[in-house]
Amino acid sequence: MIEPMNSLANERILVGITGGIAAYKSAELVRLLIKRGAEVQVVMTPAAEAFITPLTLQALSGKAVRTSLLDEQAELGMGHIELARWATCVIVAPASADFIARMATGMANDLLSTVMLAFNGPIFLAPAMNQAMYSNPMTQKNLQTLLDLRADVTILGPDSGEQACGDTGPGRMLEPAEIVNRINAFSSPLLAGKKVVITAGPTQEPIDPVRYISNHSSGKMGYAIAAAALAAGAEVTLISGPVALPSPAGARMINVTTAIEMADAALEHSCHADIFIATAAVADFRPDTVHPHKLKKTSTSAVMDLHLVQNPDIVAQVAALGSKRPARVVGFAAESRDAEKYGAEKRIRKQLDMIVINDISVAGLGFGSNHNKVTILTGESRTEIGPSLKTDIARQLISFMAEHWQLNSSDLKENNEVSTS
Known binding-site residues for CTP equal 284, 294, 312-315, 332, 346, 350
Classify 41 as helix, strand or coil.
strand
What is the DSSP annotation of 48-67?
GGGTS-HHHHHHHHSSPPB-
Which H or E run includes 136?
none
Instruction: Name the residue type at position 60.
Output: L
Q: 108 — phi, psi (to 5°)?
A: -145, 60
Q: Among this protein's residues, is 271 annotated catalytic?
A: no
Task: Determine the Cα–Cα distance for residues 412 and 127; give it in Å rounded to an integer.
Answer: 37
Spell out the residues 6+ positions from residue 106 whose beta carbon is closer than 8 angstroms to its own: 117
Binding site residue list: 284, 294, 312-315, 332, 346, 350
Q: Is 212 helix (H, G, I), strand (E, B) or coil?
A: strand
- Of 165, 192, 253, 295, which residue is the catalytic one? 165
User: Cα–Cα–Cα angle for 359, 362, 368, nearest 5°?
Assistant: 85
HSE (side-chain half, CA atoms, 13 Å) at 153:
21
Describe the crossing of helices 54-61 and 25-35 by its angle, rounded to 10 degrees: 10
Q: Which amino acid is at 392?
A: D
DSSP tag of 167: -
H or E element in which residue 92 lies: strand 89-95
Burial class, 400, CB count within 10 angstroms (exposed 0-12 / middle 13-18 / buried 19+): buried
Q: What is the largest CA-CA distance in the chain?
A: 86
E strands, 119-217, are 123-127, 153-155, 159-162, 168-172, 195-200, 205-206, 212-213
Nearest of 215, 240, 198 to residue 394 by alpha carbon: 198
Question: What is the enclosing helix (H) or strand (E) of 186?
Answer: helix 176-187
Dihedral of alpha carbons 330, 331, 332, 338, sign: negative
The catalytic site residues sit at 165
